[in-house]
Structure 1
Amino acid sequence: MKRLFIFSLFTLSFIATFAQNVMLSGIIKDKRGEVLPGAGVYVSGYKIATVANNNGVYSLGLKPGNYDLLFQVIGYKTVTKNIIVADKAIKLDVVLEEDAMQLDEVTIKPDPNRAGYIRMFTDYFIGTTPNAAQCKIINPNVLIIDYSKDDSKLTVKTNQFLIIENKALGYRIKYQINLFEWDNKTKIIYYEGYPTYEDLKGSKGQIKKWAAKRDIAYRGSSNHFLSSLYAGKSKEEGFIINKLIRQADKNRPPDSLINAKLKQFRTAAISSSENLKITLNGNDSLSYWAKQKNKPKQIAILNQQEVLPDTLVKTFNESIKSLNFTNVLYVIYTKEKEDPVYLNRIGLSISRPLTMPDYQVSLINLLVSPVYFYANGGAYNPRSMLFEGYWSWEKIADSVPLDYVPQKPGK
């Protein structure tokens, strides 16, 4: 079974690049009314942050749009606020509540399996791409981990920022994880939270190298695809859209019949073996029904007729568009080939016609209709989509901020 993934930045964001910045400001206090100097203010998904001054006052310039803000200081619970910035200055005062829960009481518990769970989380959250090999979690002790043997689910969250140093792209990522879930039965990964990005310091050579790798990471990504759809330039940007039709395999017997036959022939095999009268050679009835059980329940048919973007995308309002479709979108990015590391990973690669080059191929399954999204490629309702293929392989290690501006060709 192919691994399926849902990605979420939990950031409802839109930027009108032609608009001027609007001032957001306020005072950060505790419940007693005391100001909190040094409190951090972060814009989720962006490289935008500030610190409150000695009077607890903060200010940020934001372009019109929808933003998630995080207010955080050590010893206090993080507060999140969603705001819509239009054309007028906004005053937003925030009250933080003390966090009486000590970190060592929450995250540092005797668990012989914790190291293994952290490795599993790292693979599924940071990724296994070449960029992921250059990422390091600085403070794994903040991970609150639980594994349910009954449900076969690994869940992870944090009560403060998880800090990730990405030396491949030159970012220091702070990620407050609301929920990470790995379901071992369905092979689906879901995570949501509030990421913020900071540039690492480096030499001129390193900065130039990071700029090139950031551009590669962005191009062909799901954010790039949605952003190009919003602008009506998906084909120009290198994306070709087909449809994948999945339907039940009528030649596969129903599970009820398969299970009944397996039970029947297993009972007969046990009885026969006790009397030394049976030899299983792969051509017997028991082997036949075991093969039927292992057959996929669905078959997939690729319709290579190009899907026109304007049949998928509709304008919802001045800052949001919607994406709606039937079956599964088969998205081909023609300006980059798949990484050889990806090609060697079993269970991830998407089948393609023999005549198609090794372009990057991803699938979009629609879980909730429609998908609402913004000009920068951020999704309003991230649980509405489930990715397979190349986008399911690229995770946090290959992510860039929502305000990332791709380099112009030739730069």
Structure 2
Amino acid sequence: MNYLRILVLCCGWLVSFSAAQAQGRIKGVVQDSITNEPLSFASVFLANTTLGATTTESGTFDFAKVPPGTYELVGSYVGYRLAKQTITVGPTPLQVTLRLAPTGQQLGEVVVQPAPNKPEEYKKFTELFLGGTSFSAQCTISNPEAVRVLFDDTDNELSVRAKEYVQIDNDALGYRLKYFGLDFSHNEDDGSVAYVGQPVFEEMTSPDEAKRRKWAANRLTAYKGSFMHFLRSVYQNRLKEEGFLVQQVRVLYNPRYEQIEKQREALQKSRPDGAFTAAEQDSLDRWARAVPVTATLNTNALPIDSIRRVSADGRHTYLRFTGELQVAYFGEAPDPRYKRKMSPLGAPPRGTTYPANRQVSRLKLQGKEAEIQANGSLLNPLDVYNGEYWGFERIGEFLPVDYNPPASATVRPAAPARPAPPRR
């Protein structure tokens, strides 16, 4: 199966942590890396959050109330390269200096304007980047001229860059997203999609109260069952309470598949006219049904200790498991635009049924484990691949990590398996 790698260098936090721990403070200055002169009115933000600021005339900035956690602090200024610095916010105030390197044009340098994007390649990018959900249909890239799309037919790879940022207006969730440093790639051979960058969210405003309520309701819909929701549930040991069921996927490789393929190719070459005997055609039909990989599902729910490891000192928590996992979420029906068969693996235990309206995703690790920070995010997003339903959700459902569901919102927990109706 294809897995989506969304490589967003970001972090998040949980309601319980932001409420229980004192908020931190970040003060700093943005300077020219060569002259050390302060840069007035530069943009500074914490990636993947709604927390942003503009520097004063003396180049200083101040984030007075920041929930604890690890962030990517980003500085942006016209005529300068993006500056990034990883910081960890705690009770002690931080003092940070961001130095931006100028991109200044040299005397006599000739600026070559890039060729316009091919419409079909740009359309392919927007479909893959924004996604195909109902919320994705309400997203618009408002500065398409900033996007440069290139297709390399040698390796069948579509790559996309943006000189400064890509701006996406999400009218479904009420966010204006500026995606700085976008580096997007799609390989047509294996179907993989990856993108990395430093996004910042801005809250949209509207005098229409009904629209604001709709935004709030859609944000909750986007959150329920999301990968962010899952990670927070793992960290807090609340998988069942939050509506998740995690099961082990067993992947089996067919050791004879390569030999079967060689036999099939040899037989077809020996009969260029396609005149196979009945026995040969029977062999070809049988070989055509062979598959390189099969997967089965352990119907029992995995205990938390098979998914999560907590260090002896209690200071580190890891997502840890072997092989692949199937993660079902029972708290919300899938998007009506999701046309793939849900839960392609296995069936519930004999004599039981699962609710039909569930979201089913797949998960695997790049290595042995991936650290979940105290704020609920992965320390290194590159450590995890996800697919199926999570792979279907893209920018249309993309929430800032400082999003927390309303206190009044309840998530329906995963219902225990119900007895199946008697067979007649």
Identify whether the pair has TM-score above 0.5, normalized to the shorter chain: yes
Name stretches of at least 5 consecutive residues in structure 2 with no aligned partner: 411-424
- Partners of 1:123 and 1:320 in 2: CA distance: 38
- Partners of 2:315 and 2:181 in 1: CA distance: 27
Residue in 2 that maps onto 1:302: 297
- Partners of 1:129 and 1:142 in 2: CA distance: 24
1:143 to 2:144 alignment? no
What are the equivalent positions in structure 2 for 1:63-212 lying under 5 Å apart?
A: 63-100=67-104, 108-110=114-116, 114-202=118-206, 203-212=208-217
Residue in 2 that maps onto 1:340: 336
Which of 333, 336, 344 is the matching residue for 1:350? 344
Residue in 2 that maps onto 1:36: 39
Alignment RMSD: 2.6
Residue in 1 that maps onto 2:261: 258
Distance 1:56 1:330, change over 3 A: same
Name whichever of 20-29 and 210-219 sits farther off: 20-29
Deviation at 1:269, TM superposition (A): 3.0
Given that 2:85 and 2:98 are in contact with CA atoms closer than 8 Å, whether structure 1 keeps it comes out as no
Given that 1:321 and 1:372 are in contact with CA atoms closer than 8 Å, whether structure 2 keeps it comes out as yes
What are the equivalent positions in structure 2 for 1:240-319 lying under 5 Å apart?
A: 240-249=245-254, 253-270=256-273, 278=275, 285=280, 288-289=283-284, 292=287, 295-316=290-311
Residue in 1 that maps onto 2:422: none
- Partners of 1:86 and 1:400 in 2: CA distance: 23
Deviation at 1:384, TM superposition (A): 1.7
Which amino acid letter does the alignment assign opposite residue 160 of structure 2? V
Deviation at 1:94, TM superposition (A): 2.0
Deviation at 1:14, TM superposition (A): 4.9
**Equivalent residue pairs, number:** 395
1:23 to 2:61 alignment? no
Which amino acid letter does the alignment assign opposite residue 8 of structure 1? L
Name whichever of 72-81 and 165-174 sits farther off: 72-81
Name stretches of at least 5 consecutive residues in structure 1 with no aligned partner: none
Deviation by residue 1:300-326 (Cα, 9 ceiling, x = unmatched): 111011101133212247664101111
Deviation at 1:186, TM superposition (A): 1.6
Which of 237, 244, 262 is the matching residue for 1:239? 244
SS in structure 2 of the partner of residue 37 of structure 1: coil
Deviation at 1:208, TM superposition (A): 0.8
Given that 2:264 and 2:287 are in contact with CA atoms closer than 8 Å, whether structure 1 keeps it comes out as no
SS in structure 1 of the partner of residue 300 of structure 2: coil
Deviation at 1:187, TM superposition (A): 1.5
Given that 1:244 and 1:327 are in contact with CA atoms closer than 8 Å, whether structure 2 keeps it comes out as yes
Residue in 2 that maps onto 1:379: 378
SS in structure 2 of the partner of residue 228 of structure 1: helix
Given that 1:108 and 1:141 are in contact with CA atoms closer than 8 Å, whether structure 2 keeps it comes out as no
Given that 1:227 and 1:374 are in contact with CA atoms closer than 8 Å, whether structure 2 keeps it comes out as no
Which amino acid letter does the alignment assign opposite residue 135 of structure 1? C
Deviation at 1:219, TM superposition (A): 0.8
Deviation by residue 1:135-190 (Cα, 9 ceiling, x = unmatched): 00111222233322121111223231110000000000111244222121221212
- Partners of 1:209 and 1:4 in 2: CA distance: 31
Given that 1:362 and 1:389 are in contact with CA atoms closer than 8 Å, whether structure 2 keeps it comes out as yes
Deviation by residue 1:36-64 (Cα, 9 ceiling, x = unmatched): 11100010111100000111111113232
Which amino acid letter does the alignment assign opposite residue 22 of structure 2? Q
Distance 1:345 1:304, change over 3 A: closer
Distance 1:366 1:410, change over 3 A: closer
Which amino acid letter does the alignment assign opposite residue 389 of structure 1? E
1:216 to 2:221 alignment? yes
- Partners of 1:161 and 1:83 in 2: CA distance: 22
1:57 to 2:53 alignment? no
Deviation by residue 1:367-400 (Cα, 9 ceiling, x = unmatched): 2221112244421121221112110000111011
- Partners of 2:83 and 2:128 in 1: CA distance: 27
Deviation at 1:257, TM superposition (A): 4.2
Which amino acid letter does the alignment assign opposite residue 220 of structure 2? D
Residue in 1 that maps onto 2:323: 327
- Partners of 1:107 and 1:309 in 2: CA distance: 55
- Partners of 2:404 and 2:385 in 1: CA distance: 25
- Partners of 2:188 and 2:287 in 1: CA distance: 23
Percent identity, aligned pairs only, is 25
- Partners of 1:8 and 1:164 in 2: CA distance: 18
- Partners of 1:229 and 1:308 in 2: CA distance: 11
- Partners of 1:243 and 1:192 in 2: CA distance: 29
SS in structure 2 of the partner of residue 179 of structure 1: strand
Given that 1:28 and 1:96 are in contact with CA atoms closer than 8 Å, whether structure 2 keeps it comes out as yes
Residue in 2 that maps onto 1:389: 388
- Partners of 1:22 and 1:138 in 2: CA distance: 34
SS in structure 2 of the partner of residue 193 of structure 1: strand
SS in structure 2 of the partner of residue 340 of structure 1: coil
- Partners of 1:107 and 1:135 in 2: CA distance: 28
Given that 1:214 and 1:400 are in contact with CA atoms closer than 8 Å, whether structure 2 keeps it comes out as yes
SS in structure 2 of the partner of residue 60 of structure 1: strand
Deviation at 1:261, TM superposition (A): 3.4
Which amino acid letter does the alignment assign opposite residue 174 of structure 2? G
Distance 1:410 1:193, change over 3 A: closer
Name whichever of 363-372 and 256-265 sits farther off: 256-265
